[in-house]
Chain A
């Protein structure tokens, strides 16, 4: 018998999509039964009370949570979000319901052994509810009490060699796409770069260092599966500089209908026979391709690497061999001045393709990190230039993108030691209000009025 009646939420149990209501009820039942005989460290009926308070929100159309800010683990400024309910007498099980952010592994690959160990901690010390995963990328453990926070942190670090993620004015937990671990499009090892920078900047991740939040995300190619260009202050997108690799025989196999276009991405609908002219050549945004006499030609100099032809014919076309990253800066959600997309700052930082050693090739993680220090030196130098500027000039709660707008792209390029190039703009300015610097103008601004008057009467 459920503790609270939930007639509205019960209506979310039907339909095919996995029902979070059914899942929470399943957890409530498991806790009530307690077959393992656990001494639950927070109220056993926490899931019942959560359903009860959620039902109340469904009835009265308002939230029943209040923010709390002091709770955390000692010495860390992030990783824990305090939360209290505003009806603690009716729903004592969720009176305090804090969140723990756990740093997710690269590519979100897991072993069951790891997940089971984490679930055992959370079963004992928390609500048994999680998010797999939060928006930034962390594993979210949803709902525990203050005395459990240090205990959970102790168990995570001592028993699982596992740290918390970021929150507040910290570096947020960096996140990556699946990258070259299972994707042929990826131009970089997103997991390696993400992990390396995460470890290098642990202090910035756990202790506030900045005017506001700061996010890194890593996309292996311009398809952008982890949405870095829209969601991260520093967006790293894998790309290439040389020619797309073409296998003409495989191109022909697509043309002849032997290979499914898009790897079968449109197979549930009859779009007719694959037509390379219509589906690839004509859709190329720069019109830099042609299919002539059974041969695909790409004028690579004009290619902007949009990925469309590669996406449609993955067996026949591969990104080039000279690979690296484009770095875009300043993306953010709308608050306050409107949403911003990342602005291209470093078009190409090469990543040495011969430096392909993995952790397992080294005696220790330290030696591997030294190797990566060299491999990614140009990237870390850039990151630190950006941070120096933002820490000096950013106002309280001003995201990097807002600082860039306030002080201008020229200033940002100057501070990050980036030479201005035509690729930095969609088009040049449409007003001529150029603020010249004095040293750019021959002779400077100091002039002699008497000299002028010799040629111009008063």
Chain B
């Protein structure tokens, strides 16, 4: 069964908001855990689409990429990029 994007978006936003109290950025793997029955590739594509839609945003250490809700977290303010 194909993963419905709107449904997936709701799950992702809910999960990130729930966990968002302590941290705002997540590894791609963390998103796989939200959808245990789906292929990593399917989840990855939806996550990347949600970035394109402006729901999520990337954070890069240069070597690793993390993903969070757009605008969430402390660092944007610290960098003057909010």
Contacts and interface: CB of A to CB of B under 8 A. Distances in A.
Contact of B65 (A74, A75, A168, A395): A168
A146 B79 CA distance: 11
Nearest to A172: B63
Interface in A235-277: none
B60 A397 contact: no
Contacts of B57: 70
Q: Which A-B residue pairs are the 6 nearest by beta carbons? A: A168-B65, A208-B65, A391-B40, A168-B60, A169-B65, A69-B59
Contacts of A71: 79, 81
18 contacts: A68-B81, A69-B60, A69-B75, A70-B57, A70-B75, A72-B60, A77-B51, A82-B79, A167-B62, A167-B63, A168-B60, A168-B61, A168-B65, A169-B27, A207-B51, A213-B64, A395-B29, A397-B27
B44 A209 contact: yes
Interface in B17-57: 27-30, 40-41, 44, 48, 51-52, 57
A209 B42 CA distance: 10
Interface string A387-405: 0100110111100000000
B52 to A, nearest CB: 5
A84 B44 contact: no
Interface of B: 27-30, 40-41, 44, 48, 51-52, 57-67, 75-76, 79, 81
Contact of B28 (A70, A146, A211): A211
Contact of A72 (B58, B61, B75): B58
Contacts of B65: 77-78, 168-170, 208
B65 to A, nearest CB: 3
Interface in A184-222: 203, 207-213
Contact of A168 (B44, B64, B75, B81): B64
Given A70-B76, A77-B65, A395-B29, A208 B40 contact: no
Contacts of A82: 60, 79
B28 A208 contact: yes
Contacts of B75: 68-70
Nearest to A207: B48
B62 A392 contact: no
Contacts of B41: 209, 388, 391
B29 to A, nearest CB: 5
B51 A81 contact: no
A361 B81 CA distance: 49
B82 to A, nearest CB: 9
B81 A146 contact: yes
Interface residues of A, number: 35
Contacts of B48: 77, 203, 207-208
Identify which of B28, B58, B67 gathers the most chain A CB atoms within 10 Å of its CB.
B58
Contacts, number: 88
B27 A70 contact: no
Contacts of A392: 40
A146 to B, nearest CB: 6
A75 B51 contact: yes
Given A67-B61, A70-B58, A82-B60, 15 more contacts: A68-B81, A70-B81, A72-B58, A80-B60, A82-B79, A168-B58, A168-B65, A169-B28, A207-B48, A208-B67, A210-B28, A212-B63, A212-B64, A213-B64, A391-B40
> Which among A74, A168, A210, A395 has the greatest number of chain B C-beta atoms within 10 A?
A168
Contacts of B30: 396
Interface in A126-148: 146
Given A77-B51, A209-B28, A211-B29, A67 B63 contact: no
Contacts of B81: 68, 70-71, 146
B79 A75 contact: no
B76 to A, nearest CB: 6
A15 B41 CA distance: 54
B67 to A, nearest CB: 7
Nearest to B79: A68
Contacts of A74: 52
Given A169-B28, A211-B28, A81 B60 contact: yes
